[in-house]
């Protein structure tokens, strides 16, 4: 899943279209994310103790990841997410020599401005 916790996203489909929010949690197995202030559902709670009243509580519900678009922190535009693989070579080594182990790191990039996210 290309969207992570803490990302700023724009809702592109549904009743909350056009709203922006921060991702509070991701559910990769269900392909859903929980976005702050979006997809609010009303839940009726029963009284737990004697003398307590029942109430209606508003809770955020997960939204499908296909309905959100990441907002790039660098350019500030809604964008798609790409990946780039960086090869981190040990100091003093060259890419052509077979000696030494290379460390690969996969980073997310903005498709519009090509900056790392």
Consecutive 10-residue runs of the chain (117 residues): their mean pLDDT?
A: 94 94 95 94 92 92 95 92 84 58 85 88
Residues 19 and 45 in one domain: yes
Q: Report the domain count for the chain.
A: 2
pLDDT at residue number 88: 76
pLDDT at residue number 91: 67
pLDDT at residue number 103: 81
Residues 7 and 50 in one domain: yes
pLDDT at residue number 45: 93
Q: How far is CA 31 from the centre of its chain?
A: 11
pLDDT at residue number 117: 83
Query: Which range of residues forms the domain containing residue 46?
Result: 1-71
Residues 7 and 58 in one domain: yes
Residues 43 and 98 in one domain: no
Residues 55 and 6 in one domain: yes
pLDDT at residue number 47: 92
pLDDT at residue number 87: 84
Residues 20 and 49 in one domain: yes
Residues 79 and 58 in one domain: no
- DSSP-assigned beta bridge partners for residue 35: 23
């Amino acid at each position: 899943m290309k969207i992570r916790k803490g990302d700023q996203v724009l809702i592109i489909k549904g009743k909350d279209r056009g709203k922006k929010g921060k991702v509070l949690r991701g559910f990769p197995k269900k392909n859903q994310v929980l976005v702050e202030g979006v997809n609010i559902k009303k839940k009726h709670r029963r009284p737990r103790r004697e003398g307590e009243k029942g109430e209606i509580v508003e809770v955020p519900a997960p939204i499908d990841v296909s309905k959100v678009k990441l907002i790039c922190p660098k350019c500030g535009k809604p964008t798609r997410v790409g990946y780039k693989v960086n090869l981190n070579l040990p100091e003093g080594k060259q890419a052509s020599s077979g000696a030494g182990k290379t460390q690969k790191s996969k980073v997310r990039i903005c498709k519009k401005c090509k900056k790392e996210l």
